[in-house]
């Protein structure tokens, strides 16, 4: 059963997590004029952040063995090709995911 | 009329969040199983998923709880693991501006996956944007809570082999990457994001590279913008 220390830790982690999400809004509140560089930065951040997330998801691939990277490479190619072909997000995501599951479960 | 708009937004949000449903249930179950192995009951798992709502941090939290870590250690770990959220808030300052009563909840629920759906131009009418943002955030929150509860109560046994299903997150981010690529002629930010993160991963290893990557990205983007004229529009 959780004791009081467990509750304290959960409270600290919840507040800390919320802080990382709220901080930009607290630093640059809506009622104050935001600096020009910040607005320009916030226009280019989504592209950079999503790129960062894609690479972050691939952080555990390794190139010393073929099964360390080939399922990811093939499945990403499937996602990209499906998307360039049909441009149906669910099809691209579902197709790539099923491809990856088959590769890591049956092939490699 | 009002209900038909809400129904349409709900349908769009549900379809958009389907890949997240698959991954959150499985990853949430993984968290629920770890918590039940550590001896924690359902209500505590629910509490954590409701008030923290951060996937990778809740996995770290299981070890922090088991080690009886000090609150200061837990806070430091939280900042290290979740620092990337700063980018999400900075991107959403304007877009979440006029979202009214639900704004605190939208910010609270700004996970990687929620961010990936709200950071692009959403394919809903302007007057429905807040409802869309809220529905996406709430659905993701519910998927995550449900996953943790299922894992905690039923264990990891699924009627099918789910190994590899977490790739749906990678695929989701990749599709959003491609969509953003098509929407703009200015590919420098995306390329900076890839290069900075990949180089940081190679140099600093897979554990603690993300903060280095964020610093490189922020500095590179600010340098890039300062070299461009104010009136240059690439959008």
CB contact under 8 A, A9 and B65: yes
pLDDT band, very low/low/confident/very high, at B67 (cuts 50, 70, 90): very high
Residues A71, B178: C-beta atoms closer than 8 Å: no
The string of pLDDT tens digits covering residues A14-65 is 999 999 999 999 999 988 999 999 999 999 999 999 999 999 999 999 999 9
Chain A residue with minimum CA distance to B60:
A13
User: Which of A25, A29, A48 to mutate to probe the B interface, most B CBs <10 Å?
Assistant: A48
pLDDT above 80 (res B169): yes
Tokens of B155: 């264990």
Minimum distance, in Å, between the CA of residue B30 and any CA atom of chain A: 17
A 38-67: CB under 8 A from B: 38-60
Q: Average model confidence (pLDDT) for chain B?
A: 91
Choose, out of A2, A11, A50, A59, the residue to mutate when testing the contact with B (most B CBs < 10 Å): A50
Q: Provide the whole-model pTM.
A: 0.90
Enter the ipTM.
Answer: 0.94
Answer yes or no: is pLDDT of B190 > 50. yes
CA distance A94 to chain B (A): 7
Nearest to B91 among A17, A22, A49 (CB): A49
Q: Residue B233: pLDDT above 70?
A: no
Residue B102 makes CB contacts below 8 A (sequence gap 6+) with B130, B133, B134
Mean pLDDT (chain A, rounded)? 95
pLDDT digits (tens, 9 = 90+) for B119-163: 987 678 888 999 999 999 999 999 999 999 999 998 877 778 888
Instruction: Identify whether the C-beta of residue A20 lies closer than 8 Å to the C-beta of residue B85.
Output: yes
Q: Which of B79, B108, B194 shows the shortest C-beta gap to A55?
A: B194
CA-nearest of B84, B36, B35 to B64 is B35
Predicted pLDDT at B13: 94
Largest CA distance in chain A: 57
- What pLDDT is attached to residue B156? 72
Confidence of residue B173 (pLDDT cuts 50, 70, 90): very high
In chain B, what residues touch A17 (CB-CB under 8 Å)?
52-54, 57, 78, 82, 85
Kindly state the average pLDDT of the residues B168-174: 93
Question: B64 to chain A nearest CA, in Å?
Answer: 8
Largest CA distance in chain B: 59
């Amino acid at each position: 059963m959780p004791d009081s220390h467990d509750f304290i830790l959960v409270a600290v982690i919840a507040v800390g997590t919320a802080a990382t999400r709220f901080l930009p809004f607290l630093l640059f509140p809506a009622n104050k004029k935001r600096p020009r560089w910040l607005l320009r930065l916030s226009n280019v951040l989504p592209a950079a952040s999503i790129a960062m997330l894609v690479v972050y998801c691939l952080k555990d691939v390794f190139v010393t063995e073929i099964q360390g990277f080939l399922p990811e490479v093939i499945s990403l190619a499937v996602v990209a090709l499906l998307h360039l072909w049909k441009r149906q997000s669910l099809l691209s995501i579902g197709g790539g995911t099923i491809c990856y599951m088959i590769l890591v479960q049956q092939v490699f | 009329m009002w209900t038909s708009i809400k129904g349409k937004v709900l349908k769009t949000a549900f379809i958009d969040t389907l890949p997240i449903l698959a991954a959150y249930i499985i990853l949430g179950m993984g968290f629920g199983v770890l918590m039940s192995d550590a001896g924690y009951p359902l209500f505590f798992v629910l509490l954590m998923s409701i008030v923290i709502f951060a996937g990778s941090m809740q996995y770290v939290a299981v070890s922090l709880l088991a080690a009886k870590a000090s609150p200061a250690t837990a806070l430091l770990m939280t900042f290290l693991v979740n620092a990337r959220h700063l980018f999400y808030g900075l991107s959403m300052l304007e877009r979440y501006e006029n979202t009214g009563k639900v704004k605190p909840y939208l910010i609270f629920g700004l996970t990687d996956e929620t961010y990936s759906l709200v950071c692009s131009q959403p394919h809903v009418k302007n007057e429905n944007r807040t409802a869309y943002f809220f529905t996406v955030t709430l659905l993701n929150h519910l998927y995550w809570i449900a996953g943790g509860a299922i894992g905690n109560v039923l264990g990891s046994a699924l009627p099918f082999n789910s190994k590899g299903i977490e790739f749906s997150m990678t695929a989701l981010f990749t599709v959003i990457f491609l969509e953003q690529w098509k929407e703009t002629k200015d590919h420098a930010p995306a390329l900076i994001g890839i290069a900075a993160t990949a180089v940081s991963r190679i140099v600093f290893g897979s554990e603690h590279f993300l903060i280095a990557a964020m610093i490189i990205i922020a500095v590179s983007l600010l340098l890039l913008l300062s070299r461009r004229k104010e009136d240059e529009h690439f959008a």
